[in-house]
Amino acid sequence: MNKLMNKVLFVDTETGGIDPLEHSLLSIGLVVWQAGEIVDKEEIFVLDQVIKFTPQALKINQIDFKDFIIKAIEPSQAIKKIHDFCYRNFGDDIPVTLGGHNVNFDIGFLKKLMGKDFQKLFSHRSIDTSAILKYLYLSGKIFEDCSGSDKAFSYFNIIVQNRHSALEDARATTLLFNKLIKLIN
């Protein structure tokens, strides 16, 4: 099987802070990548019973809470939507490989949300475009350390329509992944 036929689920989260044990998960962007194409995408807004956040996180995420409250669903419903999305796109090809930019941050919040369901659905391996960029810089393949997402999107001329929307950031990271594959081929 051609390696480019494999699917990867690119994920991004918008959160109430940097600590999954302390802060709320607010939204999840899911983008399915296959053979250089985006084949499906979804954004899920999560409504904790008590929303825990820092003022700085809300400033970065630019979340409109009136709109958020209308779109957000209970954590149990969010988990079901994630399951449904994965089974619709990956069928029996479980566990799903997650990809993202600094993806361990997102994985931490997903693990908190999903508990043991996380291990049933997702692989313990992941693809991190930030780490790939750092490697390419250190190996001399690119000439600027653009391992941060803003620098990476700028360096590779990726236009991000709604920065710090989980779905748009996941989409932009998927496009970045395509550019990285082309760079090494």
pLDDT per residue as tens digits for the range 148-176: 999 999 999 999 988 779 999 999 999 99
pLDDT at residue 5 is higher than 70: no
Instruction: Domain of residue 75: give its range.
Output: 3-184
Strand ranges of the sheet holding 25-34, from the earlier edge strand across to the other edge: 37-45, 25-34, 7-15, 96-100, 122-128
Three-point CA angle 66, 20, 70, nearest 5°:
15
CB 20, CB 108: distance < 8 Å = yes
Mean pLDDT is lowest, of 15-19, 62-66, 69-73, for: 62-66
Average pLDDT over residues 70-80: 98
Average pLDDT of the residues of the chain: 94
CB 103, CB 126: distance < 8 Å = yes
Summarised one tens digit per residue, pLDDT across range 93-115 is 999 999 999 999 999 999 999 99
The pLDDT, as a whole number, for residue 1 is 39
The enclosing domain of 48 has a CATH number of 3.30.420.10
Summarised one tens digit per residue, pLDDT across range 109-132 is 999 999 999 999 999 999 999 999
pLDDT at residue 4 is higher than 60: no
pLDDT at residue 3 is higher than 90: no
Q: Give residues with Cβ within 8 angstroms of 64, minimum separation 6.
A: none
Domain count, the chain: 1
Residue 65: band (very low, low, confident or very high) from pLDDT cuts 50, 70, 90: confident
User: Which of 121, 131, 141 is CA-nearest to residue 183?
Assistant: 141
Summarised one tens digit per residue, pLDDT across range 30-45 is 999 999 999 999 999 9
Q: What percentage of residues in the chain have a pLDDT greater than 90?
A: 85
Helix (H, G, I), strand (E, B) or coil at 149: helix
